[in-house]
Amino acid sequence: VHHNTGKTTLCYTTNAYQAYLFSCFNSPQRLYGLSPVTPIVFMMQSVSQTITKRIIYRPFRDLMTAMPFAQKWLVWDKRRESELAFDNGVTVVPALANLEAILGQAIAGSMNDEVNFMRIIENSKQTMGARGKGGLFDQATEVVSNIVRRRQRSFQTQGYSMGVLCILSSTRYKNDFLDKRMDEVKALNLPNVLCLRRKQYEVVPQDRFS
Return the number of other C-beta atoms located less than 10 Å from residue 59's C-beta: 13
pLDDT per residue as tens digits for the range 19-48: 999 999 999 999 999 999 899 999 999 888
Return the number of other C-beta atoms located less than 10 Å from residue 69's C-beta: 11
Question: By the 8 A CB rule, do 97 and 118 touch?
Answer: yes
pLDDT per residue as tens digits for the range 166-198: 999 988 888 889 999 999 999 999 888 999 888
Whole-structure pTM value = 0.83
